[in-house]
Amino acid sequence: MEPALSTPFRPPPVCVMGWLSGNPRLGFRAAGSTVHQGLNAGKYLIGIGDTASVVRYAWLESLKAQQQSLDSPGASPATGSLPTIQGVAASGTYGSKKAAALAAETAAIGDTRSDIKNSGKHNEYGGWVLSKDGKYTYTLPVTFGQDGHFYPSNVTVPSGYGAVASFHTHPDSGSWGEGFSEGDVNWANQNRMNIYVGMSYSGNVRVYVPGVTKYNGFNGVTGDLIGNVP
C-alpha cells in the first residue's frame, strides 16, 4: 500500500494506524509490539500534520523497538539462525573508499530495484567495502531476503582483503526510508567504520562517518550525500 505523500494528513489517527498496519516495511505485523508502537505513533500524530513524517516516525520507532535485529547491521549478537553468506570481491578496483562505496551502492540499488520490479519484494542488499594493497573494492551485493534488515557481519570478508566499511540499501517505496536509521548509526559508531546507504526510491547514496556526521534524530535525514544512482 502506497501512502500518498502529498495528501495532507487528516484525523483521526486511527485511520492512519489502519494503513500503517498494512505496510509490511513498518513491522506492524508483529502482534507483540503493535499496541505499544500504535500508542506512541498515535500520541505523536496529534502534534504534526504531514503523512511522510508519520510514516517515517513509525518506521524509525519500529526499528528502535527491534533494534537487536532490525536494520541494525552487525551489532546484533542474536544472529544464530541467520545464514552466513560468502562475500565475493567485485572485479573492479578503485582509488578511494568513497569511489568503491559508490560502485557498491550502484550495484546494490540496481539489485534492489530489480527485485521490486520483478517480484515486488523490497529486499535490503549490501556487503563490505574492502581494501587490499592500497586499492579499494567491495563484496558483490547480497541479501538476506528481508525488507528491513541487513547483517554485514554475516557476510564473510574474502581472503586477502580487509573490511573498511559496510554498505546496504533501503528498499522503501517512499521518502521515509531516506538516510540512516538509529541502528545504522549505532553500528558505525560501535565499529568505528564508515557506513554507506543507498535508497532505491531516491537513488541517493549517503555516508555516515563516526565522530563527523551529525545524527539528525527520528524526524530528520541523517547522512551526507555523496552521489545519486538515477
119-148 footprint of Zn ion as x/- string (CB under 5 A): ------------------------------
Among 184, 185, 194, 206, binds Zn ion (CB under 5 A): 184
Helix, strand, coil % in the chain, rounded to nearest 5: 35, 20, 45
For Zn ion, give the closer residue by CB, 38 or 111.
111
Asked if residues 126 and 141 have their Cβ atoms less than 8 Å apart, the reply is yes
Asked if residues 148 and 70 have their Cβ atoms less than 8 Å apart, the reply is yes
Using CB under 5 A as the binding rule, the residues of this chain from 97 to 116 that contact Zn ion are: none
Q: How far is the CB of 168 from Zn ion (least distance, A)?
A: 6
Q: How far is the CB of 96 from Zn ion (least distance, A)?
A: 22
Q: Is 178 in the site for Zn ion (CB under 5 A)?
A: no
Q: How far, in Å, CA of 85 to CA of 74, rounded?
A: 13
Report how many residues bind Zn ion under the rule CB under 5 A.
Answer: 3
- Omega before residue 83 within 30° of 0, cis: no
Q: Which of 87, 6, 95 is nearest to 51 (CA)?
A: 6
For Zn ion, give the closer residue by CB, 37 or 147.
147
- Omega before residue 12 within 30° of 0, cis: yes
Q: How far is the CB of 184 from Zn ion (least distance, A)?
A: 4
Q: Is 61 in the site for Zn ion (CB under 5 A)?
A: no
Stretch that binds Zn ion, among 19-27, 69-77, 97-105, 127-135 (CB under 5 A): 69-77
- Neighbour tally for 204: CB within 10 Å: 22
DSSP 24: G
Q: How far is the CB of 209 from Zn ion (least distance, A)?
A: 15
For Zn ion, give the closer residue by CB, 61 or 184.
184
- How distant, in Å, are the alpha carbons of 44, 97, 221 from that of 227? 33, 14, 15
Q: How far, in Å, CA of 36 to CA of 40, rounded?
A: 6
Q: Is 182 in the site for Zn ion (CB under 5 A)?
A: no
Q: How far is the CB of 157 from Zn ion (least distance, A)?
A: 20
For Zn ion, give the closer residue by CB, 16 or 194.
194
For Zn ion, give the closer residue by CB, 132 or 214.
214
Identity of residue 40: N
* Residues making contact with Zn ion (CB under 5 A): 71, 181, 184
